[in-house]
């Protein structure tokens, strides 16, 4: 089987709207490495877009899914429930931020989790409005697109979108947006666009994913909490990409001294199996009437079994601590390159949610071409990298947290060579 043959078949059989980054096809994967159908090896610094924080095919996860497969694969939790769903909800309730009583509901995708968080917020408050932020990404469903603060490619040609959704700028010091300006913009919405008494929720990512890996400043998070408290608005933390040890904490909001009312989760919750969820204040979560939440595959037992294994792996292998150690090592390497590579405008991110932003030398003008060249050269060398940011000028690093030290060091060596070659710095 050849990649070129599969590529031709893909182009004939599937629509162009499903964008695919690579022109090779996976055959197998193990921890932080994968091999294509022609036997070529790649180091995976994408992790399925932050889905396999615990690595490809972790033995503990594989066993958990196999054991569940021997019992049953599906009953629909809403028809015939099973203990593993309840037990997982109990674990998430105990671990999510907040010392109040919590409840958790499980779904299938991150977009579903976001949609249901909005439904729950509207049911609890009796209000329609939602405030989101520029650069945020919340999914490809209609409500997800309405909340997302990036037009291309997510919103092109798909409108109109659900109403009563408003956007304010997200803090971005590199590009001149301060916390004070962001919070003032939210308050301006209350003067010009929507009465705060009509706002059900504000939703934000503690670290923006697709938007460029910008971390929410502590004073911004406190400011949102204060505004929500003043106006009876719920605060939703979208932790679909930040959750499950990626930032050095189980949840990114654990870096802050304030607590959201609702938290969405997905991606690495089940280590590659489709599972998402919403956890939050018990009184808020109970606002929806029976039957108002759920889905045919929501809380699939195979995915739930995988999620139990993921939580055990994070604890037993100290992956929160490892995320911080690996992230610090990578950031130190990238910062050391800034003198030789002036296009490196910023290196940032908590834990192992690291970003490398390129701007044209001596300016704050985004350099998407440089970013594209780095990504392409790395791929030629067998290192899989992802690009993000509103201007497509950010490399985001999402390696599995279980990556062996030798493989991590190999990848850092490739990255060093690629960055120097791209700007003509001698190795």
Q: Which of 7, 57, 12 is nearest to 37 (CA)?
A: 7
Four-point Cα dihedral 18, 24, 25, 29, nearest 10: -120
How far lies 148's CA from each of 24, 118, 135, 224, 327, in Å? 30, 13, 7, 18, 27
DSSP state of 271: B
For the chain, list residues with pLDDT below 70: 427
Question: In the prediction, which pLDDT does 264 show?
Answer: 98
Compute the distance between CA of residue 369 and CA of residue 365 in angstroms, rounded to an integer: 12
- Block residue for tokens 């189980």: 250
Question: In the prediction, which pLDDT does 423 show?
Answer: 85
How far lies 142's CA from each of 118, 157, 160, in Å? 12, 12, 9
DSSP 167-228: EEPPPBGGGTB-HHHHHHHHHHHHHHT--GGGEEEEEE-SB-TTTT-PBPPHHHHHHHHHHH
Domain with CATH 3.40.640.10 in the chain: 61-316
Question: In the prediction, which pLDDT does 184 show?
Answer: 98
Compute the distance between CA of residue 333 and CA of residue 339 in angstroms, rounded to an integer: 12
Q: Which fold has domain 3-57+318-423?
A: 3.90.1150
Compute the distance between CA of residue 423 and CA of residue 427 in angstroms, rounded to an integer: 11
Asked if the 61-316 domain carries CATH number 3.40.640.10, the reply is: yes
Domain with CATH 3.90.1150.10 in the chain: 3-57+318-423
Both ends of the chain: CA-CA distance in Å? Answer: 37
Compute the distance between CA of residue 76 and CA of residue 90 in angstroms, rounded to an integer: 19
In tens, the pLDDT along 160-194 reads: 999 999 999 999 988 999 999 999 999 999 999 99
Question: In the prediction, which pLDDT does 152 show?
Answer: 86
To which H or E segment does residue 354 belong?
Answer: strand 354-358
Across the strands, what pairs with 262? 236, 280
To which H or E segment does residue 284 belong?
Answer: helix 282-285
- Block residue for tokens 């913009």: 185
Measured in whole angstroms, how far is the alpha carbon of residue 50 from the centre of its chain?
Answer: 6
Question: In the prediction, which pLDDT does 427 show?
Answer: 64
């Amino acid at each position: 089987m050849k990649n070129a043959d599969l590529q031709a078949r893909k182009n004939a059989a599937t629509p162009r709207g499903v964008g695919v980054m690579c022109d090779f096809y996976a055959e197998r994967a193990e921890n932080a490495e994968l091999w294509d159908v022609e036997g070529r090896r790649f180091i995976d610094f994408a992790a399925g877009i932050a889905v396999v924080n615990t690595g490809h095919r972790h033995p503990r996860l594989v066993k958990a899914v196999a054991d569940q497969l021997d019992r049953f694969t599906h009953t629909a939790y809403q028809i015939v429930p099973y203990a593993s769903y309840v037990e997982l909800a109990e674990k998430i309730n105990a671990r999510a931020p907040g010392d109040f009583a919590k409840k958790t509901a499980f779904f299938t995708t991150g977009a579903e989790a976001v949609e249901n968080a909005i439904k729950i917020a509207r049911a609890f408050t009796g209000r329609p409005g939602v405030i989101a932020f520029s650069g945020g990404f919340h999914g490809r469903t209609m409500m997800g697109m309405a909340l997302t603060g990036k037009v291309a490619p997510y919103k092109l040609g798909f409108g109109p979108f659900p109403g009563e959704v408003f956007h304010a700028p997200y803090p971005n010091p590199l590009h001149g947006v301060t916390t004070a300006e962001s919070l003032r913009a939210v308050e301006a919405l209350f003067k010009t666009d929507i009465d705060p008494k009509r706002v059900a929720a504000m939703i934000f990512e503690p670290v923006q994913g697709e938007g460029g890996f910008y971390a929410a400043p502590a004073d911004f998070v406190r400011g949102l909490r204060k505004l929500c408290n003043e106006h009876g608005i719920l605060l939703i933390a979208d932790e679909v990409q930040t959750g499950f040890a990626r930032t050095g904490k189980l949840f990114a909001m654990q870096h802050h001294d304030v607590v959201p009312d609702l938290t969405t989760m997905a991606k690495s919750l089940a280590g590659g199996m489709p599972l998402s969820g919403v956890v939050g204040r018990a009184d808020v979560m109970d606002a929806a009437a029976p039957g108002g939440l759920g889905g045919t595959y929501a809380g699939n037992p195979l995915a739930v079994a995988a999620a139990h294994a993921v939580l055990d792996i994070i604890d037993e292998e100290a992956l929160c601590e490892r995320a911080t150690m690996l992230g610090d090592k990578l950031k130190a390497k990238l910062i050391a390159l800034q003198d030789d590579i002036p296009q490196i405008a910023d290196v940032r991110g908590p834990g192992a949610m690291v970003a490398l932003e390129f701007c044209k030398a001596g300016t704050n003008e985004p350099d998407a071409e440089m970013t594209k060249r780095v990504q392409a050269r790395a791929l030629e060398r067998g290192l899989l990298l992802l690009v993000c940011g509103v201007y497509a000028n950010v490399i985001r690093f999402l390696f599995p947290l279980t990556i062996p030290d030798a493989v991590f060091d190999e990848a850092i060596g490739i990255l060093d060579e690629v960055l120097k070659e791209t700007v003509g710095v001698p190795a």
